[in-house]
A and B are shown apart, each in its own frame.
Chain A
Amino acid sequence: MRSLFRMLGRALGFAAAVFAVAALAQGPVEVQFYYPIAVGGPIPKIIDGYVAAFEKENPGIQLKPIYSGSYQESIAKALTAAKSGDPPVMSILLSTDMYTLIDEGAIVPFDDLVKTADDKAWLKSFYPAFMENSQTGGKTWGIPFQRSTVVLYYNKDAFKEAGLDPDHPPATWAEMTADAQKLTKRDASGKVTQWGVEIPSSGFPYWLFQGLAIENGANLMNAAGTEVYFDKPEVVGALQYWVDLVNKYKVHPPGIVDWGTTPKDFFERKVAMMWTTTGNLTNVRANAKFDFGVAMLPAMKQRGSPTGGGNFYIFRKSTPAQREAAFKFIKWVTQPERAAQWGIDTGYVAVRADAWDTPEMKKYVAGFPAAAVARDQLPYAKAELSTHDNQRVTKVLNDALQAALTGAKTPAQALKDAQRDADRLLRSYR
């Protein structure tokens, strides 16, 4: 009897000690993280749902998600917070911000956190095209989460009216040109009432242009982010084609095509084919009052598209426990089922191949085959333009593209100037 009490007493004492230690060592680990919103839909609700579910499974971790505005605001907020010494533990930011974040010394690589064989397998599970923007110098700095790519949307009804096969979207540049010529409609006075194709050129024209360049056989930068190839003949050829669509074939509206109004142009039947992000899929599905199709971007020498969107980053100013906790959440939220559900809910491309094999995703794709086009294009996709001093370098290219499209410079001249300016900016990083 006494021994029973003694045992009980000892056990209680032990338990109390364990509790005390646990409470001392852990408290709950608090993990603050920033997330931007770049697409419509109830993103905060979905994120809050993840957080609640994760915290339930991991009582020792307390997540504090903070909606930080657009991507641009989020990077601004994260960078200044890092400089002033109070950054979040993790944040979702553009994959192209990687070099900026490294240069500012704001983030840590994931390599120190990836320890077990499981972790390594997890890291390998992402599409390589997404990892290109997440790794540099042999290290992994970001984990793909809300990623996208450029695809071609086309109006099947318009295809039928023009005598084209609605189930055969253009597969090559030549086909796109020919289709666009048939799809461009003019009224009696010669005024265009429906354009063949639109590639938006406001805001971030470099992104769509990168698709053209890759298709023409060249990407715009090296993997180290220290070189750009704006004046390569293939790149010049790509811009020449874009300009030709406007001036030579007259199937693309002249001047700058606004990114924001392009989907509306499509809904209004003012354009029969548009290049835009996969992130628009849900929007188009909801608002197009006609039968539409989604296709891979057409090929010149090859298929191709840049990737886009946001990665998870872990910030340097954090405790090891916080990093572990953040890492745990990132692994948790990128599990195949969740990656699939996230893709279905938001229109982003599910970031790993096995997400597409989940029953949920299979069901979704069966009902809406267009959703799988982005996946099928991924083998041809390349990293989005990202270099050191990224914002400036991309502005240089954006300006050059707009100069050529508005007729201020020839494509060759515009890109030559852009190359010179970019070289000057990147000199100090080589």
Chain B
Amino acid sequence: MTRTREWIYAWLLLLPAMSLLALFTHYPAIANLWHSFHSTARANHPSVFVGLDNYRSMVEDPIFWQALKNNLWYAVGTIPLSIALALLMAIWVNNRIPGRGILRLAYFTPTILPMIAVANIWLFFYTPQYGLLEQFLGSLGFASHNWLGTRSTALPALMVVAIWKEAGFFMIFYLAALQSISPQLAEAAAIEGASRAYFFRRVTFPLLMPTTLFVLINAVINAFRMVDHVVVMTRGGPDNATELLLYYIYEVGFRFWDSSYAAALTMVLLAILAVVALLQFAFLERRTHYQ
């Protein structure tokens, strides 16, 4: 095959996927920027160019700032915990722990259940007075607490649900990585007299770095993408305490029907994700494992 023919061949192979990507990823990202400089069309008021007006209202919008702040806290709260738990789970089910088949299944089930359905069940867990958590804590003598109805605990309560949902999924990746680590390494270390903790710190964990990176990026994306439980459990309340960026975009875009302002909000979300992407590429440069 000549070189030119190979080029054409390759591009033909890429064409279907690339055109869909262009239509539903690249074009919307750019169109979104364009629309964020325009006003929302209403009856008798067609859309006009308004420059930075939408961004100006955004800066003055306390709910936007609250959503941004919440989302950052949400990321900080869910990412390390879900990754740590995932790793712990993977190590457990990788070891000869009794019933590890069942455990592996148990850890993985949340991944298969739709968030929208389990959020309703979590709602029951958090219900004051007779919810499962209340019944449990009450039997231990703790005072009653309105988990979702109090500003300080509503967001953490949602974080728990997110961690519960994600950890098992990430576990699978760690498990796959752990199984590829040669058991001889551990044996050799044991003969050398290294403790398990020492071995983990100096051997296992560094070997898992590429996996951790992969999982980390997924966790970051999920922290900004997963809002299904907000829809069911709090709708952003109480008083915007659980308002997350994407949920706010949904509200503005599809309840207030202000698509231009929603476009401006989306730009912020895209900017955050772009920063994450750049960090990822920076890391990938250094890590050749991926190639």
Contact = CB atoms under 8 A, between A and B. Distances in A.
A and B touch in the complex (CB under 8 A): yes
Contact of A202 (B42, B235, B257): B235
A173 B217 CA distance: 55
B130 to A, nearest CB: 5
B240 to A, nearest CB: 6
Given A105-B44, A406-B149, A408-B151, 19 more contacts: A79-B257, A106-B43, A192-B129, A201-B149, A202-B149, A202-B234, A202-B235, A203-B237, A254-B146, A256-B146, A258-B123, A260-B123, A261-B123, A391-B255, A399-B237, A399-B240, A400-B239, A406-B239, A408-B239
A402 B234 CA distance: 12
Nearest to A106: B43
Interface of B: 42-44, 63, 123, 127-130, 138, 141, 143-144, 146, 148-151, 234-235, 237-241, 251, 254-257
A213 interface: no
A406 B238 CA distance: 7
B127 A392 contact: no
A256 B148 contact: yes
Interface of A: 72, 76, 79, 103-106, 189, 191-193, 201-203, 253-258, 260-261, 264-265, 268, 270, 389, 391-392, 395, 398-400, 402-403, 405-408
Contact of B255 (A72, A268, A403, A408): A72
A256 B129 contact: no
24 contacts: A76-B254, A105-B43, A191-B143, A201-B238, A202-B235, A202-B237, A202-B238, A253-B129, A253-B149, A255-B128, A256-B146, A256-B148, A256-B149, A265-B129, A270-B130, A392-B256, A399-B63, A399-B237, A399-B240, A402-B238, A405-B238, A406-B239, A406-B241, A407-B151
Contacts of B255: 72, 76, 391
Nearest to B143: A191
Residue among A256, A257, A400, A407 with the most chain B CB within 10 A? A256
A287 to B, nearest CB: 15
Contact of A192 (B42, B127, B144, B151): B144
Contacts of A258: 123, 127, 148-149
A76 B250 CA distance: 12
Contacts of B254: 76
Contacts of B138: 191
B144 A257 contact: no
Given A405-B238, A406-B149, A253 B44 contact: no
Interface centre among A403, A405, A406, by most B CB within 10 Å? A406
Those 3 A-B pairs whose CB atoms lie nearest each other, nearest first: A255-B149, A256-B149, A105-B43
B43 A402 contact: no
B164 to A, nearest CB: 20
Contact of A253 (B128, B234, B239): B128
A103 B257 CA distance: 12
Contacts of A400: 239
Contacts of B44: 105
Contacts of A403: 238-239
A265 B134 CA distance: 13
B217 to A, nearest CB: 33
B130 A254 contact: no
A400 B240 CA distance: 10
Contacts of A260: 123
Given A202-B149, A256-B146, A406-B151, A261 B239 contact: no
By CB atoms of chain A within 10 A, which of B43, B63, B238 has the most? B238
Contact of A402 (B141, B143, B239): B239
A398 B241 CA distance: 13
A391 B150 contact: no
B130 A104 contact: no
B227 to A, nearest CB: 16
B284 to A, nearest CB: 41
A255 B146 contact: yes
Given A103-B42, A270-B129, A398 B143 contact: no
A4 to B, nearest CB: 63
Q: Which of B44, B129, B138, B151 has the most CB of A within 10 A?
A: B129
Given A104-B42, A391-B255, A255 B127 contact: no
Contacts of B141: 189
Nearest to B243: A399
Nearest to A257: B149
A270 B129 CA distance: 7
A101 to B, nearest CB: 10
